[in-house]
Structure 1
Amino acid sequence: MSEQNVDVIRRFFRLFDEGRLDDIEALLSDDFEWVYHGPKSLPWAGTYHGVAGFREFFGIVRGLIEVQECEAYDYLDAGDRVVVLGYSRTRILANDARYEAQWMNVFTVRDGLITRYLDLYDTASVVEALHAPRG
């Protein structure tokens, strides 16, 4: 069943690329948990629960950043977990600073739904860009 799990996560990223966040919500389990690691100086670092948490996360980041490119370039099948490697290029809205970051996501999928999303990111580049003077 793990190939089906990879397909669920590929769909997640396809919908994200298309800006279809509402459609992603149908892929989340009732007990969905999103853990975004980072320092307290990163406004969206934390743990989010359920669809409400998913919406809360994007409510925070929408006012702060603009993702210019997000590429998931490798999907690693690990049974009920799918590990995704990728990179993003992003612009900070307040100061027009930009950053590029490598990331790794670990998704847990149960019965075709995402139950956990562990988001590991190069947060140092993000925090630096958030605090850069407007250029």
Structure 2
Amino acid sequence: MSIEENVQIVKDFFAAMGSGAKQRLLPLVAEDIEWIIPGEDWPLAGTYRGHAGLADVLQKASEEVEMTYPKPLEFVAQGDRVLVVGVATGKIKATNRTFKDDWVFAITVRNGKVTKIREYIDTQALARASETAASPRL
């Protein structure tokens, strides 16, 4: 596929995620998708695999975090890789603490499907927003 087609698939993926339409999202991702969210001490950190893992991370996100994603600021593509640069703001529901997260998603597209997502995020901001009064980080 062309670079332009790969970028469009990623844009469609973000649009489907934003709409919450799972039926629009699944056709865009490979059955063996891998989504890596780095960090510790915040609810979404982990590696999620396959359609079941995708459903799991999206369910966790809806239960644990309120986020707004303005339209991604920039798409940078080369070959089968599309980098998406953006910002999210929101709060961790359990603590009611807010955060601002500047992020980059490194997305691999193969055969017209999203196959891998690796997030580069502000893990410290998210961990701090996840802290409870009883267990602050030192």
TM-score by length of 1: 0.90
The root-mean-square deviation of aligned C-alpha atoms, in Å, is 1.4
Q: Secondary structure at the match of 1:38?
A: coil
Separation in 2 of the partners of 1:112 and 1:69? 24
- Gaps of at least 5 residues in structure 1 are none
Q: Secondary structure at the match of 1:95?
A: coil
Separation in 1 of the partners of 2:70 and 2:34? 21
Which residue in 2 is equivalent to 1:129? 129
Identity percentage of aligned residues: 28
CA displacement at 1:6 relative to structure 2: 0.3
Per-residue CA deviation, residues 30-51 of structure 1 (Å, 9 max, x unaligned), is 2211111112x12221111111
Which residue in 2 is equivalent to 1:113? 113
CA displacement at 1:19 relative to structure 2: 2.2
State the one-letter code of the partner of 1:59.
Q
Per-residue CA deviation, residues 42-101 of structure 1 (Å, 9 max, x unaligned), is 222111111100011122222211113343110001110000100001122123211111
Kept in 2: contact 1:68–1:91 (CA 8 A): no
Which residue in 2 is equivalent to 1:24? 25
Which residue in 2 is equivalent to 1:4? 5
Which residue in 2 is equivalent to 1:56? 56
Say how many residue pairs are matched.
Answer: 132
State the one-letter code of the partner of 1:7.
Q
- Which structure shows the bigger proportion of residues in strand conformation? 1
Distance verdict in 2 for CA 1:127–1:9, change over 3 Å: same
CA displacement at 1:17 relative to structure 2: 2.0
Separation in 2 of the partners of 1:3 and 1:112? 11
State the one-letter code of the partner of 2:16.
L
Separation in 1 of the partners of 2:69 and 2:86? 10
Moved beyond 6 Å, runs of 4+: none
Once the two structures are overlaid, the 10-residue window that deviates more, 61-70 or 25-34, is: 61-70
Which residue in 2 is equivalent to 1:80? 80
TM-score by length of 2: 0.88
Separation in 2 of the partners of 1:11 and 1:43? 26
